Structure 1
Amino acid sequence: MHLIQYLDSQGNRAVGVTEGGQTRQLLEASSIYDLAMAATTTIGGLPAVIATMQQGEPVDKAALLAEGRMLAPIDHPDPAHMHVTGTGLTHLGSAATRDAMHKANGEKPAGEMTDSMKMFRMGLEGGKPAAGERGVQPEWFYKGNGHIVANPGHPIPSPSFALDAGEEPEIAGIYVIDQHGQPRRLGFTLGNEFSDHVTERVNYLYLAHSKLRACSFGPELRVGDLPRHIEGKSRIIRDGEVVWEKPFLSGEDNMSHTIANLEYHHFKYELFRQRGDVHVHMFGTATLSFADGISTRSNDIFEIEESQFGLPLRNPVRVEEEKPVIIGGLY
């Protein structure tokens, strides 16, 4: 089952469900968040709630995406109550680029492990614990709240002060916190965990700055568990031509951590278990155009696709004009 959110022909919010290759509108729903919160108190979860709802005529979701009417597949009525976060160095091969950057900066002499490689090795050795055990915690970062999310098909803004505007093709887990303060997973989506890799390369301690950027995820929410093997394509399109393309891998068969271990080390903090909140958690990648020497330009289009997740995630990048910050006292 896949779910989408979109604007109908009158500009009103709507929800669609895809089952058996056909997408139909859920006539009694306008928000996946509302469906999810209802499912937290229903035996059978999301499928049970959806089964009680009347469905409308078939919906052409590809046309919705092309017309710019697709919304992110989860949001919150108050965007400040959506947390966008992620983990790094979680995929087999993901340490190579980071390690090379740090050695190029002279952070460690040749032959000595960088902190990134140490963290990656920790994941290899302890990121997939046995049942009932706790694994090693991963690298973790904060991206922002619901205000940073660009809808599928819409531009991802890059601030004027950024040194780079690079894609990161990832899988994002989608969660709500139920009335008991417990995380409840809806499913997974494609994600573009957009970052500034040049800023990160200046010094590893700038990683936190490099992650404070917009992102996009969707267009479809795949309800259920994550497939063990995910193999998609990430590409950059410039002036109608593909200038870079590469496969990306995800799923636990291609990771140094289990999804359960990554989830535990995020939700172990009470801060992230506040009733009614939404969480979008990015699980990392080993594939970057930046690693191949690509420097993106304004109006380049990022495209991330994987057939198990439905429609591709496409977003142009737009460099913003400088926005003066005026700090005034209240005294």
Structure 2
Amino acid sequence: MSIIFECEYQGRRYAGHGIPAPGSTLTLYPVTDGQLHTALVAGEGPEALRDALPERSEPVEVALGDPGLTFLPPLLPTASNNALINGFMGTHRSKFDRAPEPDEKFTPPNYYIKGFGSWLRMPDEPLTTMAEPIWLLEEPEVVLVYANDDEGVPHYAGYTFGNDLNDIGLHLENPWAWTPYAKLCETSIAPWLFLDAPPEKVTGTVTIERDGGPAWQGPFSCGADSLFHRIPDMADYIFSYPHLRRPGLVNYLFLGADKATYHDGFRIENGDRMVLDVSSHGVVLANQVRYGTRAPK
């Protein structure tokens, strides 16, 4: 399984292979903003990204905990911010009272636009919510990453994992009108880009930590085997919209989440730490919740 990541170190952009182990040293190869995007759209698929790392250039060795090291969302165009966070809701079988028929006609699930790619946050960064959320909900999800070429053709880069934190309490008060407000929380994403087809099986555990200890814990699944909708159908449908095929756009497409803390009656509070352990893929995504403030009058 090939995995790549991008990061900044001492003001310069780099890329590397794999998920670093705690205490390890990273081998980083210099790249420019958009270099991997260009390699993807010129190549034959995600593996073009692995082959694009300039391993003959002068790499640098950096300790994982170096304070000058900052990881980046996969393929994020930092200069142009030409990136979009968006996704689907109500996609899991656990939210239906029946199983899909093998040849069932595709019915698009609900969809949302969360914000710009620059709004994404990395592991261990706080996630800011609205000032007075009603009932927050963490959502561990598979995130598909696409990059459009100059003709507006989407190219699949691979997948990673994210936490679509939102205010489900606000959504439930008015599902037909207030969902866009409920989604206005910051979103975390793992920097590790898996250069494979969307995963069939993804399992893990959510732990909500409070005052230094676990306050709630429960399992989740978010692979294709847990979805009611077929991933190719969802991707084909969303890219039927021309605005999502704008040249150069990087698209972070969240595939929806299983039931979690809210469905167990647990309330996430200001200062809680959400730990999403995607054990099936060796990824841990942890972020502290931070309530926002109202704008001054």
What range is the shorter-chain TM-score in? 0.7 to 0.9
The one-letter code of the counterpart of 1:6 is C
1:288 corresponds to: 260
The 1:166/1:60 distance shift into structure 2, 3 A limit, reads: farther
1:268 corresponds to: 240
Q: Please state whether the residue corresponding to 2:74 is helix, strand or coil.
A: coil
Identity across matched positions, percent: 24
- Which aligned pairs between 1:170-319 and structure 2 lie closer than 5 A? 170-205=141-176, 206-319=178-291
The 1:79/1:197 distance shift into structure 2, 3 A limit, reads: farther
Contact 1:231 1:247 in 2 (8 A): yes
- Deviation at 1:221? 1.4
Instruction: Give yes or no for the alignment of 1:35 onto 2:36.
Output: yes
1:328 corresponds to: none
1:48 corresponds to: 51
- Deviation at 1:137? 1.6
Contact 1:73 1:219 in 2 (8 A): yes
Aligned with residue 151 of structure 1, among 102, 114, 122: 122
The 1:226/1:319 distance shift into structure 2, 3 A limit, reads: same
- Deviation at 1:311? 3.4
- Deviation at 1:50? 2.5
Contact 1:138 1:265 in 2 (8 A): no
Contact 1:4 1:73 in 2 (8 A): yes
1:5 corresponds to: 6
Instruction: Give yes or no for the alignment of 1:89 onto 2:60.
Output: no
Give the gaps of 5 or more residues in structure 1: 96-116, 326-331
Q: Which has the larger radius of gyration?
A: 1
1:163 corresponds to: 134
- Deviation at 1:39? 2.5
Task: Give the Cα separation in 1 of the matches to 2:263 and 2:25.
Answer: 38
Task: Give the Cα separation in 2 of the matches to 1:57 and 1:318.
Answer: 35
Contact 2:147 2:154 in 1 (8 A): yes
The 1:160/1:79 distance shift into structure 2, 3 A limit, reads: farther
Contact 1:189 1:309 in 2 (8 A): no
Task: Give the Cα separation in 1 of the matches to 2:185 and 2:206.
Answer: 19
Query: RMSD of the alignment, in Å?
Result: 2.8
The 1:202/1:19 distance shift into structure 2, 3 A limit, reads: closer
The one-letter code of the counterpart of 1:89 is G
1:100 corresponds to: none
Higher relative strand content: 2
Residues 151-179 of structure 1 show CA distances to partners (whole Å, capped at 9, x for unaligned) of: 22111001214323321111111111012
Q: TM-score, normalised by structure 1?
A: 0.78
The 1:180/1:53 distance shift into structure 2, 3 A limit, reads: farther
Q: Please state whether the residue corresponding to 2:161 is helix, strand or coil.
A: strand
The one-letter code of the counterpart of 1:237 is E
Instruction: Give yes or no for the alignment of 1:140 onto 2:111.
Output: yes
- Deviation at 1:57? 5.5
Task: Give the Cα separation in 1 of the matches to 2:250 and 2:78.
Answer: 10
Query: Paired residues, what number?
Result: 291
The one-letter code of the counterpart of 2:134 is L
1:105 corresponds to: none
1:14 corresponds to: 14
- Deviation at 1:279? 0.5
Task: Give the Cα separation in 2 of the matches to 1:311 and 1:11.
Answer: 26
Contact 2:171 2:182 in 1 (8 A): yes
Task: Give the Cα separation in 2 of the matches to 1:68 and 1:317.
Answer: 23
Task: Give the Cα separation in 2 of the matches to 1:315 and 1:20.
Answer: 19
The 1:190/1:264 distance shift into structure 2, 3 A limit, reads: same
Task: Give the Cα separation in 2 of the matches to 1:286 and 1:148.
Answer: 23
Q: Please state whether the residue corresponding to 1:242 is helix, strand or coil.
A: strand
Task: Give the Cα separation in 2 of the matches to 1:67 and 1:51.
Answer: 22
- Deviation at 1:242? 1.1
Task: Give the Cα separation in 1 of the matches to 2:285 and 2:153.
Answer: 30
Q: TM-score, normalised by structure 2?
A: 0.86
Higher relative helix content: 1
Residues 236-269 of structure 1 show CA distances to partners (whole Å, capped at 9, x for unaligned) of: 1112111111111122212111211111111110
- Deviation at 1:19? 8.1
Task: Give the Cα separation in 2 of the matches to 1:5 and 1:261.
Answer: 29
The 1:200/1:67 distance shift into structure 2, 3 A limit, reads: farther
Task: Give the Cα separation in 2 of the matches to 1:279 and 1:314.
Answer: 23
Give the gaps of 5 or more residues in structure 2: none
